[in-house]
């Protein structure tokens, strides 16, 4: 017990200390230097705004954003895995798709989002479309690249045993790609929060992005920061959850070397 506490302090102590210093410095600066609250609210004011709006934030806007993030992430995983595996199995698919995928990432979201609004209206699907567009790409790339690391030697060994492509995929390439795929998932889930927020900024009637936009219109910086704080927490929690899942799945797979 004592050693685990010690390890915990070693791992996170320095970070927490830094956060504490920054937050107190921030609080002090705002109070002493008289920075107007609509430019930079004090941490205590942000906390107060969070508590003040807690019902609205936790019961309406956070669930709305979470729903968009989860549906968007789910679709990103499905699309990303299918595209990554498809490109791995077929050179023609790869040749057609890879440039298109890269192009899809160079399109500025802000520019394309009015089109999403035209297609999907203010429904949840316009937000999910933005989320999907930001979040599927890391999964495709990590899946495709991960499957390539499978190693020719292992492939040849299985070929001499009479294995077909599917068996090699199942027994060697997929397990070897898992660490890379999980890196992609972790990136993607964070992007999902970003994507959902952007989608809400561009047109929505609920969600943390919508809330923060409305509050910024009212010059209520403390409420804007409160929403940002929640969004960042949401991203961190989802990231940690995927990390936990990764640890479970790769328990024996990280025995490389």
CB atoms within 10 A of CB 53: 20
Is residue 92 involved in binding other proteins (CB under 8 A)?
no
- Residue 189 Cβ, how far from other proteins at the closest point, in Å? 24
Evaluate whether 143 touches 85 at the Cβ level (below 8 Å). Answer: yes
Give the residue from 64, 46, 51, 47 showing the smallest Cα distance to 197. 64
- Residue 84 Cβ, how far from other proteins at the closest point, in Å? 20
Residue (129 or 172) nearer to other proteins, CB: 172
- Residue 151 Cβ, how far from other proteins at the closest point, in Å? 8
To which residue do tokens 């409305």 refer?
214
Residue (2 or 255) nearer to other proteins, CB: 255
- Residue 246 Cβ, how far from other proteins at the closest point, in Å? 14
For 46, the token pair is 């942000």
CB atoms within 10 A of CB 230: 20
For 50, the token pair is 């969070």
Determine if residue 36 is left, alpha or beta; phi over 0 gives left, psi from -120 to 50 gives alpha, anything else beta: beta
Site string for other proteins, 236-255 (x = CB under 8 A): ----------------xx-x
Evaluate whether 128 touches 136 at the Cβ level (below 8 Å). Answer: no
Residue (148 or 214) nearer to other proteins, CB: 148
Residue (91 or 255) nearer to other proteins, CB: 255
131 three-class SS = helix
For 194, the token pair is 């970003």
- Residue 147 Cβ, how far from other proteins at the closest point, in Å? 16
Residues 169-198 that bind other proteins (CB under 8 A): 171-172, 175
For 69, the token pair is 């993030």
Residues 145-174 that bind other proteins (CB under 8 A): 153-154, 156-163, 167, 171-172
Instruction: Give residues in contact with other proteins (CB under 8 A).
Output: 153-154, 156-163, 167, 171-172, 175, 252-253, 255-257
């Amino acid at each position: 017990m004592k050693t685990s506490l010690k390890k915990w302090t070693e791992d996170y102590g320095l970070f927490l200390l830094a956060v504490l210093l920054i937050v107190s410095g921030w609080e002090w600066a705002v109070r002493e230097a008289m920075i107007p609250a609509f430019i930079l609210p004090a941490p205590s004011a942000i906390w107060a705004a969070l508590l003040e709006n807690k019902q609205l934030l936790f019961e309406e806007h956070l669930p709305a954003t979470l729903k968009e993030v989860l549906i968007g992430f789910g679709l990103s995983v499905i699309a990303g895995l299918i595209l990554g595996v498809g490109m791995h199995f077929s050179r023609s698919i790869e040749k057609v798709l890879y440039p298109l995928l890269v192009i899809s990432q160079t399109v500025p979201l802000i520019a394309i989002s009015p089109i999403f609004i035209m297609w999907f209206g203010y429904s949840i699907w316009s937000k999910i479309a933005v989320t999907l567009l930001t979040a599927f790409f890391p999964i495709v790339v990590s899946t495709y690249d991960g499957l390539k690391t499978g190693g020719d030697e292992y492939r040849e060994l299985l070929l001499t045993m009479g294995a077909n492509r599917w068996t090699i995929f199942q027994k060697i390439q997929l397990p070897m790609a898992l660490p890379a795929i999980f890196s992609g998932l972790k990136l993607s889930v964070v992007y999902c929060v970003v994507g959902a927020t952007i989608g809400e900024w561009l047109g929505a009637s609920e969600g943390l992005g919508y809330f923060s936009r409305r509050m910024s219109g009212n010059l209520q910086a403390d409420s804007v920061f409160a929403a940002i704080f929640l969004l960042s927490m949401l991203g961190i929690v989802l990231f940690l959850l995927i990390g936990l899942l990764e640890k479970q799945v790769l328990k024996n797979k990280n025995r490389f070397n």
